[in-house]
Amino acid sequence: MPTALLLENIHPYAAQSLRQQGFEVATRKGALSEHELIEALAGVDLLGIRSKTKVTAAVVDACPQLTAVGCFCIGTNQVDLDYAGQHGIAVFNAPYSNTRSVVELVIADIICLLRRIPAHTHHIKQGIWDKTASGSHEVRGKTLGIVGYGHIGMQLSVVAEALGMKVVFYDLDEKMAMGNAQRMDSLQDLLACSDAVTLHVDGRKSNTGFFGREQFEQMKQDAIFINLSRGFVADLDALKDQLASGHLSGAAVDVFPSEPSKSGDPFATDLATEDNMILTPHIGGSTLEAQEAIGHFVPQRLEDYWFGGSTMLSVNLPQVTVSGNPTGIRIGHLHVNLPGVLGKLNHILGQSGINITAQSLGTEGSLGYVVTDVDRKPDQQTLQSLQNIEGTIRLRTMA
């Protein structure tokens, strides 16, 4: 019986789905350290995590049975993707399932900051009745600058425009503007005209420290800043300085450079003393609706790969989509992208008198992946010959 381990309080539907497909499933609420994870993965085929558990090269080396990792979130920077792929571990995520949840929190942050709700709440708690319109604004007519125009940025663009905001965006890649949104030629141009700036960049290492003191200083006087993307992309010390000086009128931060590994752990940030400040514990995508959607989506990708060999929407393997589960025997061959691998594989099958009924091949970068349907199960000698093909990373048979 195949086994799966789900960590970090993943929605119960994920365990239910995997069990219905014949997996023995163990669940844990919190994240695990590298050493704890290696111990917990003994004999485990599939791993499900969120953002806190790190799948490092050491974990991959120590767990040769591990076949796939499901990231029940958008980000995948908690996994060493290249190393996992080079060792035959497919990684999947949920790139769309919690998009709306993030968008709604950004909108809520914008409205609250422009109306100075955090500051008013703070004053009320101190027993101060500060009934004034000073510094409070409607969102209608304000300019929203979106840095990173991916799935979240695009949907945010539509919702913000529906509220009457003017939307500008900046992205390194060429992106089609939604509605009346305007692409800016540079980040500096976006910062100069935006009343609210929100970051939605990905977790690539090159984005570390991407938004620093220089960028904060280029923002408009009294603008607000929002980061629900990655904790390491913004310099929070520089943000605090801009808030304390009065250059920025407010900020909302949901992600931090260093975060506790589990709920309930103590946490402190210097931003907590700022007046018009919204601090949330990495909950941008944490709604019941989003977690349920992710609980449906990711297990389906894991099951399709385990039973059918499909790498559709894998973030680290070549994309090979196959139709349904195999009707006979299916062979998945992940290999280094070398010339002649497909020919060698087919030659070995032909020498063994095995007929190929369908075949799909995909290559991406240093990896190649071929899925082959055959009319009968190869014997052990044939399987060993396939395994011995130069560049073979992982050979799997599915029936």
Residues involved in catalysis:
230, 259, 282
137 by Cβ neighbours in 10 Å (0-12 / 13-18 / 19+) ranks as middle
114 by Cβ neighbours in 10 Å (0-12 / 13-18 / 19+) ranks as buried
Evaluate whether 170 touches 120 at the Cβ level (below 8 Å): no
Q: According to DSSP H, which parts of 270-389 are helical?
A: 288-303, 341-351, 380-387
CA-based diameter of the chain, in Å? 87
Cross-strand bridge partners of residue 233: none
Q: What string of DSSP letters covers 87-145?
A: TT-EEE--SSTTHHHHHHHHHHHHHHHHTTHHHHHHHHHTT------TT---STTPEEE
Alpha carbon 299 to chain centroid distance? 15
Q: What is the DSSP letter of 269?
A: -
Neighbours of 224 (CB within 10 A): 27
Nearest by Cα to 50 from 311, 291, 279? 291
